[in-house]
């Protein structure tokens, strides 16, 4: 970027700095910074059709605004909890959440029947209300009608959190095992910062599901390697927060987390231990139960879009995929970008949620030779390395009979498929390639020539005046 007189402006330098910061943040995420995800599930009202998709006829959202237009929203019925009563042997009590005004006594009975919650320290169960003030029910004493599999939560966890784990590309499934029902009551219910001890070698994380019950405070704070995410599930005094929905968060076992003090009401949660199993996923771009705004990079990218100095005139960002995909195989192409995983899926979801145009495209590595008629004019100072050959879409490997003995390189490239030489600001380096094309290459003797391509996310950034943030 440069001004007309060749002197770089302050805006240019500021934009370069922002792009550098964004590139570093993306690299950090690829190295495991996607340590937690979360979302919400609306609860259907009695008598409503809980299986019908939400309408997608609304006007398209503006750039920079979260959107799930066209997606069928995951829904759940009100949650019923049954538990062993402590007042009479053999008696089963029941409450349905969200609680109706006339059923407040059942809610209070649930709270009163819970037992004091301990925490583990040096292999012992410790009870200390200055560190943890909460109550609990063990799974032997209660049951719940909530199923995290039915609403897509477990599928989202499998596709976003598993790929960063050793063996995550092989073991793609998740088994969620219900562990406890916990109640943090106001005032002063809390759990200070701690790290959970995995219950077995296959456990990789925890899922916390907040049931619909009025409360204020009790935020869940999840931290990992100097980063932190706050999940605020309280609805009392919080504008725009609906009590009639399930809130959830999942995170790795090595994450430090804490429950801040509950000021009033009852914060009721179901906790699940998460274990690795075999499975598969095809959720990128169509996972309504996942909230992209809770992903670690969402706020950073949104903040940059709001800055006039960030790509003022617009342009394209390029992010090479962190994970390997068979992006030149015809059958695999059918599942992309839906089968994106890990940080690739997280970034794809963030850009889609911000209503930015994002596509998964092949980037051709065609070597150092360029036809003379394709060279850039001397007056243009653009770096050729930024002008990659970008396919209009993903292509299966082309086994061409074109020969360099008689064909120009342009003719050779036309056999690959429609493409363009675009100027892209690249934030990461290529890692995983696939065979894009084979051809007959002639030098001292005939041999098989091979060109490779990389899969990358190409994001169109509107000019600042057109972002409508």
Which residues in the chain show pLDDT less than 50?
1-2, 50-70, 240, 368-385
Predicted pLDDT of residue 65:
47
Question: If we measure between CA atoms, which residue out of 22, 72, 38 comes closest to residue 292?
Answer: 38
**Cis peptide preceding 98, ω within 30 of 0:** yes
CATH 2.60.120 fits 35-44+64-294, yes or no: yes
337 preceded by a cis bond (ω within 30 of 0): yes
- Return the pLDDT at 381: 40
Predicted pLDDT of residue 443? 57
pLDDT tens-digit map of 191-223: 999 998 888 788 999 999 999 999 999 999 999
pTM of the model: 0.69
pLDDT at residue 147, as a whole number: 96
- Looking at residue 117, its pLDDT comes to 93
pLDDT at 377: 40
Report domain extents, the chain.
35-44+64-294, 311-374+383-466
Q: Is residue 154 a contact partner of residue 41, using CB atoms and an 8 Å limit?
A: no
Burial 334-366 (b: 16+ CB within 10 A, else e): ebbbbbbbbbbbbbbbbbbbbbbebbbbbbbeb
Query: What confidence score (pLDDT) does residue 93 get?
Result: 93
**pLDDT value, residue 379:** 37
Q: What is the pLDDT of residue 450?
A: 85
Per-position DSSP letters for 50-90, written without gaps between them? TTSPPP--SPPPPTTS---TTPPPP-BPPEEEEEE-SSSTT
Q: What is the pLDDT of residue 72?
A: 57
């Amino acid at each position: 970027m440069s001004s007309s007189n060749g002197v770089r402006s302050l805006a240019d330098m500021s934009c370069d700095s922002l792009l550098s910061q964004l590139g570093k943040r993306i690299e950090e995420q690829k190295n495991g910074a996607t340590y937690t995800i979360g979302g919400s599930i609306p609860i259907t009202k009695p008598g409503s059709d809980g299986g019908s998709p939400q309408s997608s006829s609304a006007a398209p959202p503006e750039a920079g605004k979260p959107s799930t237009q066209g997606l069928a929203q995951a829904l759940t019925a009100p949650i019923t909890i049954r538990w062993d009563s402590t007042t009479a042997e053999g008696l089963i009590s029941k409450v349905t959440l969200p609680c109706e005004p006339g059923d407040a006594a059942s809610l209070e009975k649930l709270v009163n029947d819970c037992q004091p919650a301990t925490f583990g320290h040096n292999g012992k169960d410790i009870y200390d209300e200055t560190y943890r003030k909460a109550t609990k029910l063990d799974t032997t004493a209660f049951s719940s009608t909530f199923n995290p599999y039915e609403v897509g939560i477990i599928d989202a966890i499998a596709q976003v959190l598993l790929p960063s784990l050793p063996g995550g590309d092989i073991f793609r499934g998740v088994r969620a095992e219900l562990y406890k029902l916990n109640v943090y009551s106001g005032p002063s219910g809390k759990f200070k910062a701690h790290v959970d001890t995995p219950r077995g070698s296959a456990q990789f994380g925890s899922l916390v599901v907040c049931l619909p019950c009025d409360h204020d405070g009790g935020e869940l704070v999840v931290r990992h390697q100097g980063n932190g995410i706050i999940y605020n599930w309280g609805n009392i005094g919080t504008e725009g927060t609906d009590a009639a929905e399930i809130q959830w968060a999942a995170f790795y076992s090595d994450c430090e987390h804490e429950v801040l003090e509950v000021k009033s009401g009852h914060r009721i949660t179901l906790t699940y231990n998460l274990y690795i199993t075999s499975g598969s996923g095809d959720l990128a771009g169509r996972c309504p139960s996942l909230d992209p705004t809770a992903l670690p990079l969402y706020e950073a990218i949104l903040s940059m879009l709001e800055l006039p100095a960030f790509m003022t005139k617009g342009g394209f960002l390029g992010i090479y995929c962190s994970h390997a995909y068979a992006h030149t195989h015809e059958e695999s192409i059918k599942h992309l970008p839906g089968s994106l995983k890990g940080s690739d899926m997280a970034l794809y979801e963030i850009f889609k949620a911000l209503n930015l145009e994002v596509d998964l495209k092949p980037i051709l590595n065609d070597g150092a030779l360029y036809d003379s008629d394709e060279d850039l004019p001397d007056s243009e100072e653009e770096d050729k390395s930024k002008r990659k050959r970008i396919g209009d879409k993903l292509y299966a490997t082309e086994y061409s009979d074109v020969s360099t003995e008689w064909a120009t390189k342009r003719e050779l490239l036309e056999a690959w498929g429609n493409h363009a030489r675009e100027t892209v600001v690249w934030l990461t380096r290529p890692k995983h390639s696939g065979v894009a094309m084979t051809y007959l290459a002639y030098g001292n003797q005939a041999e098989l020539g091979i060109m490779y391509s990389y899969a990358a996310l190409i994001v169109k950034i509107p000019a600042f005046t057109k972002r409508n943030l």
